[in-house]
């Protein structure tokens, strides 16, 4: 079958995007292939189509569980057999799924790199008829790459098991030295390298300096109407900004890792189908989501790297129409960025301390503990050992990323409840226990099936809906359990930790010390590159981004905030027009700068500059009420 036929049959497209067909042809010719396609370039098709054309199964290595699940679900909807081996799967399920890949005519097996070291996985992969090895997010294999994961080195084992099978490596962001590192580490022979341009000529990159981000956000969303993503730093900010926008009359929803899968699906559906104009999300949002008509991507906080910024900004304008990627910046943001991402980088000695305390916390003896699983209360751990939470959390992430431990976070969805009485007995009980009425009704109305099976309950949601305190809810649940109305499995931890290696204290950490220091240096470079980008108001922003990724160009984009300011002809006409609009708006009443910004479509910077010039030539003046009037 021809690649184009497969594309039409499963994807309903009649033509390939740039470079896709060349990459697919290279893979089908059994060449080791490297594909650098910026976000939105359609990377997955480049390995999925060759795998479907050939007999056998494609093994896909990916570090992102959510993305693996999304791709498997998408393939299943198309009628293609695929499976993802993720953490938390029982030995029995793992055994069954691997057998399915050998005997069940499956086309795709998605794995995390850590899984490749399991003897059972290696044994079954050797029995599979593998037609292709695909390495997604391939920059993770390079110590110079964004988000380096040492476990990616395990992919060499896979290549040794099937030495005659070619490999494709795919990434959206990689500098020249990272590309060399990837092909070397994956043992590529005469690799075919395909690099798409990082240029996105339909995206206007803006950095807007403002002292009032919420007001500026409101102004931007009114000026640039259409589907929008607003990226924020943390979960609380997603709800706070969503509530602010809803109160201002915008159609908005929010998305972060702590909401239920059902809520994620509902909110994603509302936004992708334009039932909601705006989605406020943490930066985890957007992987694998191909919504073509996003008009605006706004970073409410400074991004942590230009790699991540480029990927997130690139979710705008995939339909080829003009779109905007905007960073909002306050004067204090640079200090906040350094503080959040640099001052919380744990030293090698601190990582050793946390590992040592962790072993003591779970009473693991020297030489013991390998593959042991423990319930983990992060707050209690930090309190017991007087450890700073942010540094400790980052130290745990380093231990996780370097395959010393596995850290699984549950985000308060681990409390399980089931009503073990009949309906009649329950309401009879409530007649004599009126104080429990509210809690019981909230549980019954929120969780269908809670009479039939053990149900996962989000305590925060129950607290919110019942208007009871956390202490009250817990005490009332314990009372219901004591009176044998419910079965209660109360989560008293927020995470699980699995030790992947036996305890050897410093000997365990020393091999990764150099990696820790190198990644810290890389993070410093990335933060400084972001600061340089947002401060540089003299070079075209598109040129700056292309230069960062090693793709120089003399052409300016003509539409970013720098280009528009630097274009003197446009700037002169624009200034005259803006001054006239200000004077026209002030004809009938005195107005504040905020009121003028709402009435006139312009940037805050341009408005304040024009106001200053009009005051200087004595056309207007400021009143004691801080409004502007015509003289």
The model's pLDDT over 341-399, given as tens digits with 9 standing for 90+, comes to 999 999 999 999 999 999 999 999 999 999 898 888 888 899 999 999 999 999 999 99
560, pLDDT greater than 70: yes
Residue 89 has pLDDT above 80, yes or no: no
Contact 199, 549 (CB under 8 A): no
Domain 567-630, CATH number (from 3.40.50.1000, 3.40.980.10, 1.10.10.10, 1.20.810.10): 1.10.10.10
Q: Report the alpha-carbon distance of residue 368 to residue 352 in Å, rounded.
A: 17
Give me the pLDDT at residue 568, please: 52
Least Cα distance to 585 among 523, 628, 540 occurs for 628
CB 220 within 8 A of CB 211: no
Most distant CA atoms of the chain, gap in Å: 87
CA-to-CA distance for 102 and 126, rounded, in angstroms?
10
pLDDT of residue 90: 74
Who's near 347: CB < 8 A, 6+ residues apart? Answer: none
Q: What DSSP letter does each residue of 410-429 carry, written as one string?
A: -TT--EEEEE-S-HHHHHHH
Phi-psi region for residue 369, left (φ > 0), alpha (ψ -120 to 50) or beta? Answer: left
> How far are the Cα atoms of 6, 89, 433, 477 from residue 485, in angstroms, in the given order?
56, 32, 12, 9
Residue of 321, 281, 226, 222 lying closest to 594 (CA atoms): 222
Residues 6+ apart with CB under 8 A from 53: 1, 3, 6, 28
CA distance 447 to 417: 10
CATH superfamily of the domain spanning 3-195: P-loop containing nucleotide triphosphate hydrolases (3.40.50.300)
**Average pLDDT over the chain, rounded to whole?**
89
What are 299's strand-pairing partners? Answer: 231, 327
Given the DSSP bridges, would you call strands 415-419 and 167-171 parallel, antiparallel or unpaired? unpaired
pTM equals 0.75
Model confidence over 47-84: pLDDT tens digits? 999 999 999 999 999 987 778 888 898 899 999 999 99
Strands (E), 315-427: 323-329, 373-376, 405-409, 415-419
Give whole-number Cα distances, 415 to 87, 409, 459, in Å: 20, 14, 7
Enter the CATH code of domain 340-411+494-523. 1.10.10.10
Residue 285: band (very low, low, confident or very high) from pLDDT cuts 50, 70, 90: confident
Instruction: Say which residue, 124 or 599, is predicted with more confidence.
Output: 124
Tell me the torsion sign for CA atoms 422, 424, 428, 433.
positive
pLDDT in tens, 198-246: 999 999 999 999 888 999 999 999 989 999 999 999 989 999 999 999 9
pLDDT (mean) for 296-319: 94
Phi and psi torsions of 327, nearest 5°: -105, 125
Position 412 pLDDT exceeds 50 = no
- Strands 108-111 and 130-135, how do they pair? unpaired
**CATH topology (fold) of 203-331:** Rossmann fold (3.40.50)
Out of 56-70, 229-243, 311-325, 556-570, pick the least confident: 556-570
Q: Greater confidence, 107 or 474? A: 107
Percent of the chain beyond pLDDT 90?
Answer: 57
């Amino acid at each position: 079958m021809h690649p184009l036929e497969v594309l039409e049959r499963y994807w309903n497209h009649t033509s390939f995007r740039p470079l896709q067909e060349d990459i697919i042809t290279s893979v089908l010719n059994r060449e080791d292939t490297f594909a650098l396609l910026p976000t939105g370039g359609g990377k997955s098709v480049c390995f999925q189509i060759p795998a479907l054309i050939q007999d056998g199964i494609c093994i896909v290595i990916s570090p992102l569980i959510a993305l693996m699940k999304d791709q498997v679900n998408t393939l299943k909807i198309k009628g293609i057999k695929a499976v993802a081996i993720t953490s938390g799967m029982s030995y029995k399920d793992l055994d069954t799924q691997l057998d399915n890949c050998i005997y069940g005519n499956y086309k795709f097996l998605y794995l995390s790199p850590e899984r490749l070291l399991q003897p059972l996985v290696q044994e079954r992969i050797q029995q599979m008829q593998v037609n292709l090895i695909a390495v997604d997010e391939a920059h993770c294999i390079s110590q110079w790459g964004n988000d380096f994961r040492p476990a990616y080195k395990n992919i060499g084992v896979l290549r040794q098991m099937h030495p005659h099978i070619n490999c494709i490596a795919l990434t959206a962001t990689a500098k020249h030295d990272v590309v060399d590192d990837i092909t070397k580490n994956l043992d590529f022979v005469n690799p075919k390298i395909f690099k798409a341009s990082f240029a996105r000529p339909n995206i206007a990159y803006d950095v807007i300096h403002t002292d009032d981000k919420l007001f500026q956000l409101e102004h931007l969303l009114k000026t640039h109407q259409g589907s929008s993503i607003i990226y924020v730093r943390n979960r609380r900010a997603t709800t706070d900004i969503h509530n602010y926008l809803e109160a201002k009359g915008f159609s908005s929803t929010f998305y972060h890792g702590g909401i239920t899968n059902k809520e994620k699906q509902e909110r994603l559906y509302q936004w992708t189908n334009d039932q909601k104009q705006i989605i406020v999300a943490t930066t985890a949002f957007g992987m694998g989501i191909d919504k073509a008509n996003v008009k605006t991507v706004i970073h409410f906080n400074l991004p942590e790297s230009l790699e991540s910024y480029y990927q997130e900004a690139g979710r705008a304008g995939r339909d080829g129409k003009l779109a905007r990627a905007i960073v909002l910046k306050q004067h204090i943001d640079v200090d906040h960025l350094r503080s959040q991402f640099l001052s919380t980088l744990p030293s090698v000695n601190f990582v050793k301390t946390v590992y040592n305390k962790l072993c003591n916390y779970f009473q693991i003896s020297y030489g013991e503990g390998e593959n042991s699983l423990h319930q983990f209360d992060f707050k209690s751990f930090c309190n017991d050992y007087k450890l700073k939470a942010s540094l400790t959390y980052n130290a745990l992430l380093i231990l996780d990323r370097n395959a010393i431990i596995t850290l699984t976070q549950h985000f308060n969805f681990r409390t399980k409840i089931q009503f073990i009485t009949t309906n009649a007995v329950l309401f009879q009980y409530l007649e004599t226990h009126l104080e429990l009425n509210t809690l019981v009704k909230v549980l019954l109305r929120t969780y269908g099936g809670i009479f039939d099976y053990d149900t996962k309950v989000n305590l925060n949601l129950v607290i919110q809906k019942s208007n009871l305190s956390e202490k009250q809810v817990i005490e009332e649940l314990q009372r219901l359990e004591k009176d044998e109305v419910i079965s209660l499995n109360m989560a008293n931890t927020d995470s699980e930790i699995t030790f992947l290696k036996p305890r050897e204290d410093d000997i365990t950490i020393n091999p990764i010390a150099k990696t820790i220091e190198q990644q810290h240096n890389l993070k410093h470079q990335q933060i400084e590159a972001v600061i340089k980008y947002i401060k540089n108001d003299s070079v075209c922003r598109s040129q700056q981004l292309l230069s960062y990724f090693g793709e120089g160009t003399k052409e300016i984009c003509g539409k970013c905030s720098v280009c528009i300011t630097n274009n003197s002809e446009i700037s002169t006409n624009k200034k005259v027009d803006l001054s006239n609009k200000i004077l026209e708006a002030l004809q009938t009443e005195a107005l504040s700068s905020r009121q003028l910004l709402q009435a006139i479509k312009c940037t805050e910077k341009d408005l304040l500059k024009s106001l200053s010039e009009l005051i200087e030539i004595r056309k207007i003046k400021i009143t004691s009420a801080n409004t502007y009037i015509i003289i």
